């Protein structure tokens, strides 16, 4: 039995004929870090609020540990669910010291026990020496860790985090991803995070749940989801990709597309059902490797320098027919590539996937 079980959870808002969350099924193991990932309006924050108890599902069931917190007949109040919450804006009290902020949720504890527990979690997040300071005296990353410490202080069953990195600049954001993941793992707490940022999700999560229009599209480990997206939406949302339509070759090892034959990785060959079935391919830009005698050739229409690589928009030509859409491929930054240049490249089968 999983630690958290969400069974057929559905949420309709008043005046809407379409559910914000539609028949969600999700099981989470104890100590697991899960991220709900998707675009704005996909239902991820509504899901988080229903788990927290801030929203009531229209139907369905939620269990945490051995307690049913939501059924069609009743709902356990938020304060009795054993949940810690880290809000997007951290929600720290500016007039209270850091120590008192962390102690705030320990209502039924003695004053001595409150202080001891607050000091323990401040040690856990590496900010014990800041106990007497105030939130305005801390950086954004430090405030985030204090908010997490306050959520962890009551020893919750689950920690919920709503867009925890959205207020941080790029450099601090990258650093805090790993710090927060380390703190959660060290505390051995089950956590559910909401974000629309793929890098946030992939950096901290054991598994990622991609949602769109209230429906789960795929649940997988970050590496598996990136390399083997289930459908076109997932392939495009968790990173850039090239989508091609094609027909399976007679050898069951290649797909015939508008740019030519594309080789499939071994794991996909076992899933092929028919020699003539139409399929769609996802080809990651980093799976296209520049080579002097590459199998595919095209003209560079646009070059974008990202710092880590150059993103090329390449119009391919195969069998004397120009393909409809340009391919996006990544090139090393040390290569001088100009618009109008003809390039050739090969496609690594490992970064090719069949999608629905």
Beta-bridged to residue 84, according to DSSP, are: 159
The DSSP 8-state label assigned to residue 270 in this structure reads: T
Which residues touch 127 (CB under 8 Å, ≥6 apart)? 98, 142, 145, 146, 149
Instruction: Give residue 29's pLDDT.
Output: 97
The answer to whether residue 182 is domain-embedded is yes
Distance, CA of 11 to CA of 16 (rounded, Å): 10
Q: What are phi and psi of 83, to 5 degrees?
A: -120, 135
Distance, CA of 236 to CA of 218 (rounded, Å): 13
Q: Measure CA of the first residue to CA of the last residue in the chain; give whole Å.
A: 31
The verdict on 58 and 141 lying in the same domain is: yes
The verdict on 202 and 309 lying in the same domain is: no
The predicted model scores a pTM of 0.92
The verdict on 75 and 205 lying in the same domain is: yes
The verdict on 201 and 252 lying in the same domain is: no
- Residues spanned by the domain of 90: 4-229
The verdict on 224 and 251 lying in the same domain is: no
The tokens 């951290």 sit on which residue? 90
The verdict on 27 and 129 lying in the same domain is: yes
Q: Which residues of the chain have pLDDT under 50?
A: 275-276, 320
The DSSP 8-state label assigned to residue 240 in this structure reads: -
Distance, CA of 147 to CA of 102 (rounded, Å): 8
Distance, CA of 23 to CA of 306 (rounded, Å): 40
Q: How many domains does the chain have?
A: 2
The answer to whether residue 340 is domain-embedded is yes
The answer to whether residue 234 is domain-embedded is no
The verdict on 223 and 107 lying in the same domain is: yes
Instruction: Give residue 253's pLDDT.
Output: 84
The verdict on 245 and 222 lying in the same domain is: no
The answer to whether residue 177 is domain-embedded is yes
The verdict on 200 and 268 lying in the same domain is: no
Instruction: Give residue 88's pLDDT.
Output: 84
Distance, CA of 342 to CA of 261 (rounded, Å): 20
CATH number for the domain spanning 254: value is: 2.40.50.140
Instruction: Give residue 320's pLDDT.
Output: 43
CATH number for the domain spanning 107: value is: 3.40.50.300
Chosen domain end from 210, 229, 248: 229
The verdict on 75 and 186 lying in the same domain is: yes
Instruction: Give residue 315's pLDDT.
Output: 92
Chosen domain end from 196, 229, 262: 229
């Amino acid at each position: 039995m999983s630690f958290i079980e969400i069974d057929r959870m559905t949420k309709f808002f008043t005046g809407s004929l379409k559910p914000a969350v539609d028949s969600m099924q999700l099981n989470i193991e104890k100590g697991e870090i899960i991220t709900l990932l998707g675009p704005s309006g996909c239902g991820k924050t509504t899901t988080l609020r229903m788990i927290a108890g801030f929203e009531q599902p229209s139907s369905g069931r939620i269990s945490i540990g051995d307690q049913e917190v939501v059924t069609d007949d009743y709902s356990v109040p938020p304060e009795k669910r054993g949940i810690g919450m880290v809000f997007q804006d951290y929600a720290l009290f500016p007039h209270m010291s850091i120590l008192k902020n962390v102690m705030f949720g320990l209502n039924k504890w003695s004053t001595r026990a409150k202080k001891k527990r607050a000091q323990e979690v401040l040690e856990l997040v590496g900010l014990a020496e800041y106990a007497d300071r105030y939130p305005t005296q801390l950086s954004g990353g430090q405030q985030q860790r204090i908010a997490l410490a306050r959520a962890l202080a009551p020893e919750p069953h689950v920690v919920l985090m709503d867009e925890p990195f959205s207020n941080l600049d790029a450099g601090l954001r990258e650093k805090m991803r790993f710090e927060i993941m380390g703190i959660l793992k060290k505390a051995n707490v089950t956590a559910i995070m909401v974000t629309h940022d793929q890098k946030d999700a992939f950096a901290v999560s054991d598994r990622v749940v991609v949602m769109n229009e209230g429906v789960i599209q795929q649940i997988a480990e970050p590496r598996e989801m990136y390399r083997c997206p289930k459908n076109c939406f997932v392939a495009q949302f968790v990173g850039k990709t090239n989508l091609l339509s094609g027909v399976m070759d007679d050898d069951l090892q290649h797909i015939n597309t508008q740019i030519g034959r594309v080789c499939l990785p071994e794991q996909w060959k076992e899933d092929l059902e028919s020699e003539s079935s139409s399929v769609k391919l996802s080809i990651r830009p980093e799976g296209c490797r520049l080579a002097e005698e590459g199998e595919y050739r095209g003209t560079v229409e646009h070059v974008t320098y990202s710092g880590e690589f150059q993103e090329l928009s390449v119009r391919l030509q195969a069998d004397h027919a120009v393909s409809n859409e340009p391919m996006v491929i990544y090139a090393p930054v040390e290569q001088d590539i100009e618009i109008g240049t003809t390039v050739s490249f090969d496609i690594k089968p490992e970064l090719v996937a069949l999608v629905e």
